[in-house]
Amino acid sequence: MKQISTITRSKEAEIMDKFDFKGDELKSVLETIDKINAKLGGHRVTIKGIQKLLENHPRKHLVIADLGCGSGDALRQISKWAKKQGINVQLIGIDANPHTIQVAREWSRDYKNISYRVIDVFSEDFDDFEADIITCCLTLHHFENKFIKKLVPILSDKASLGLVINDLHRSKVAYRLFELYCSVFVNSDIARKDGLTSILRGFTSEDLENFAKELNLKHHITWYWAFRYQWIIYSS
């Protein structure tokens, strides 16, 4: 059994981080990731976070952007939820990988309220961007700590209500349980490897509290099964 450490965040790269990853292999891995996320209840973490932000600011029209949108599955789930709530929502998916955006557009063609943009959030292309809420679903762990400290204030400044960050709890139990889950339900070697790496790049509540303290954030952290943190950051 592979020895692992969860004391600090891993800096090991993920295969999906490569911008030249594309084609049928990319589609297959994205499909596997979406299935894992659906089975393990990942979307409810994001939607419940949006609901919390709206508790004191009810809206009938919203602009919600998802950073690191992948296949757009989170946006499609938010669209379905908003329709049931009678909320008119404009959804924008942002990803730096043009090949991923191409897949997201293809898989979201029946959703007229979803659009996609290829943007590097640290570039000038993001300067004029605005939204009511920005979500970040299984994306923050792809950044090293120094870039998280740079990114979160940028996003907070552009979201009038706040941020909903949905990401992984770094723990040995989560790692071993995901290994077991993969042995039964996951056929993709890339999804399996990246999933395990993602857990080691994930967070503890102490990590998130330290970011919040250093950045002077008004925030709230909630733990969800299966080993997810919902980190809500309220815009000032």
Let me know if residue 171 belongs to a domain. Answer: yes
Give the total number of structural domains in the chain.
Answer: 1
Reduce the DSSP state of residue 88 to 3 states and report it: strand
State pLDDT tens for residues 197-213.
999 999 999 999 999 99
Let me know if residue 5 belongs to a domain. Answer: no
Let me know if residue 45 belongs to a domain. Answer: yes
Is 62 in contact with 82 (CB distance < 8 Å)?
A: yes
Mean pLDDT of the chain, nearest integer: 95
Of the chain, the percentage scoring pLDDT greater than 90 comes to: 89
Let me know if residue 6 belongs to a domain. Answer: no
Let me know if residue 12 belongs to a domain. Answer: no
165: which strand partners?
136, 231
Other CB atoms within 10 A of residue 232 CB: 22
Q: Is residue 24 classed exposed, middle or buried when 0-12, 13-18 and 19+ CB atoms within 10 A define those classes?
A: exposed
Let me know if residue 84 belongs to a domain. Answer: yes
From CA 114, how far away is CA 116, in angstroms rounded?
A: 7
Structural domain that includes position 105: 24-234
From CA 108, how far away is CA 81, in angstroms rounded?
A: 15
Q: Give the CATH number of the domain where residue 223 resides.
A: 3.40.50.150
Which residue type occupies 222? Answer: T
Let me know if residue 125 belongs to a domain. Answer: yes
pLDDT grade for 144, boundaries at 50, 70 and 90: very high
Let me know if residue 78 belongs to a domain. Answer: yes
**pTM of the full structure:** 0.96
Is 200 in contact with 20 (CB distance < 8 Å)?
A: no
